[in-house]
Amino acid sequence: MRERLGAEFDSAWDSLQWREADLSDVGALEAAMAGCVRVFHAAGRVSFQPGDEGALKAVNVVGTANVVNAALAAGVRRLFHISSVSALGRSAKDPETGLLLPVVETAEWSDGAGATPYGVSKHAAEMEVWRGVAEGLEAIVVNPTVILGDARYGESSGMVYRRAAQGRRHYPVGGGGFVGVADLLEVCAALDAAADSGREGVLGERFIVSAEDVSHRDVMTWVANEAGVAGPTRPLKGWMLSLAWRSAALWSWVTGTAPMLTRDLANNTLVTHCYDTTKLFGALPGHEFTSIRDVIRQSMARGMG
């Protein structure tokens, strides 16, 4: 990664420091940001569980507002906000084919059909960042698709590894965008260096970050291959998912535990989402992503090592 960015990467990242503070504590955030030129805000809550709306708002919206306020108070020059494609509007359908067109940064936002409480909270968090820009803060926002990193089976998107590595026979029929965590870091460094060099069209902008659009079946198959188990062969039908999330909800009610599958997650797996990264490549011409198959291969090797 450093080899592709050279000295620009070093200048942007060698002085990076990790500082901890509670997102609900503005004073602690200001203290953590004291003396900082730029802040990279990647903290957030990811949940598709019913009843988590309050927690999502507290962490993602109020927490981001506190980060913005603290940055302004501490004299931070630039805020780099790691958002999500869930904060973007949904793609329109091609009038001729009926297929979904790629999602772009300017897709019209709606809190209506298709928007999850998580997506609503991430969109509202971005609004806090743009409010900070209006008050004098420099900002860059990235909207990554599903982020894959080391195969930590119990954490966030690491669940993809766990389920596929178990040799599940059924696969969701949809698909979407994926990106490796190392590639996301590289993009952030490159955009930050580009802004420092005075490149236009970087500051005050948002960028979709996605290596490629891949079907869920392919992702599960690649994980299964690396785990040495058979890949999925049977598609999950809509009625099967509907029955599954309702059964999970009932079991959750009986046991008092969080359901493994929710309606939002089930519905999302039936749709194939695709993403347009033209804007990103316009800002970073010549940038290259690691293929998702290679990301999985490398992640599984580390996770099982």
Reported as a single tens digit per residue, the pLDDT across 193-216 is 999 999 999 999 999 999 999 999
What's the pLDDT at 151? Answer: 55
Query: What's the structural domain count of the chain?
Result: 1
The residue ranking higher by pLDDT, 164 or 183, is 183
Q: Which of 191, 151, 162, 157 is nearest to 176 (CA)?
A: 157
Tokens of 2: 């450093």
Q: Which residue has the tokens 């049977």?
A: 234
What letter would DSSP give residue 290? P
CA 282 to mean position of chain CA atoms: 21
- Integer Cα distance of 269 and 263 in angstroms: 10
The residue ranking higher by pLDDT, 210 or 159, is 210
Give the model's confidence band at 114: pLDDT under 50 very low, under 70 low, under 90 confident, else very high.
low
> In angstroms, how far is the first alpha carbon of the chain from the final one?
22
Q: Which residue has the tokens 């999302």?
A: 268
State yes or no: pLDDT of 289 exceeds 70: yes
State yes or no: pLDDT of 12 exceeds 70: no
Q: Which CATH number is 280's domain given?
A: 3.40.50.720
Query: Can you give the residue range of the structural domain that contains 136?
Result: 2-303
- Cα 56 to Cα 43, 141, 241: the distances in Å are 12, 19, 25
Angle at 292 between CA 85 and CA 110, to 5 degrees: 15
Mean per-residue pLDDT over the chain, rounded: 84
What mean pLDDT is predicted for residues 83-101?
82
